[in-house]
Chains A and B, each alone.
Chain A
Amino acid sequence: MISEDTKKNIIDAIKYADSYASGSKRRHLQVTFDRMLAELSKSIFNEEITNRMEFRIKVNSTQNNSKIILSLRKMLKKQDHLFSKDYHGKTGETVSFIKNELAKFFEVIDS
């Protein structure tokens, strides 16, 4: 479902969430997150995605209510905390997203 390389990067971000909340590491995580969604889209819908919103619409519209889909819905709902512009310098929301929604999604995937 998710490649080992992507998984490794995300797990590292969950482990050191604070350092991934700003700067280049945050941008790196954003790219990895997008890659993860692309891999998930290919795996779940067998389709490429053009953007996160399109993927979110598909996930919300699917009749499949498996644990992974439910967890994915919750994570995608809060994804803007990772992608919001950091002009205001608020890193708390990003850290919270990594430690909660992203970490919980990975727990479901691993279970």
Chain B
Amino acid sequence: MNSDNKDIALKAWDVYQGLAQGMGESAWKIRSTCFAITSGIVAYTYNSSDSLLYLLASVLCVFFFLLESGYRRLQHQYICKSIDIERTINDFIANDPSPTFPVSIGTDVETPDFQSLVMLFDLKRILFWMPYLALFGLTILLFHFDVLVNK
């Protein structure tokens, strides 16, 4: 591995890290927007005369969940690309005579598919899906039991 190759690998790693970080920050913004809007709708509905609006909050939960999951899946792809580069860097550190290189370096990613969405429901990622599930379940229960302040 010559010095130029090493510099390219480090630069690519830096770019992937930046993209993964950006995706993570966007995901958190989506999450906080979801909780703020949903809480507002729940508070408004509780003081209104029709519990149907609780369902709007449920639908928004699903929408924001899908949106955040898209960002998380894109972030995952950049993390995987980063790991590939880390292997190259490790080979360089280890004085490997023939370092491993990724097939290619690029910022293009696959469109998030259904299978990767299902993988997000892994128990290890409970902190990702549990808040959405709790909020979704809560709004459904509030609608089901017709919970209103003037009832």
Contacts and interface: CB of A to CB of B under 8 A. Distances in A.
Interface of A: 53, 56-57, 60-61, 73, 76-77, 80, 84, 87-89
Nearest to A60: B95
Chain B interface size, under 10 / 10 to 19 / 20 to 34 / 35 or more: 10 to 19
A57 B96 CA distance: 8
B87 A80 contact: yes
Contacts of B96: 56, 60, 73, 77
A56 B119 contact: no
A89 B122 CA distance: 9
Considering residues A61, A80, A84, A88, which has the most beta carbons from chain B within 10 angstroms of its beta carbon? A88
A84 B86 CA distance: 11
Nearest to B125: A87
**DSSP majority for the B interface?**
helix
A56 to B, nearest CB: 4
Interface of B: 76, 83, 87, 90-91, 93-97, 100, 119, 122, 124
A61 B124 contact: no
A53 B124 contact: no
24 contacts: A53-B90, A53-B93, A53-B94, A56-B94, A56-B96, A57-B93, A57-B94, A57-B95, A60-B95, A60-B96, A60-B97, A61-B95, A73-B96, A76-B94, A77-B94, A77-B96, A77-B100, A80-B87, A80-B90, A84-B83, A87-B124, A88-B76, A89-B119, A89-B124
Nearest to B90: A80
Contacts of A88: 76
Contacts of A89: 119, 122, 124
A42 to B, nearest CB: 20
A80 B124 CA distance: 21
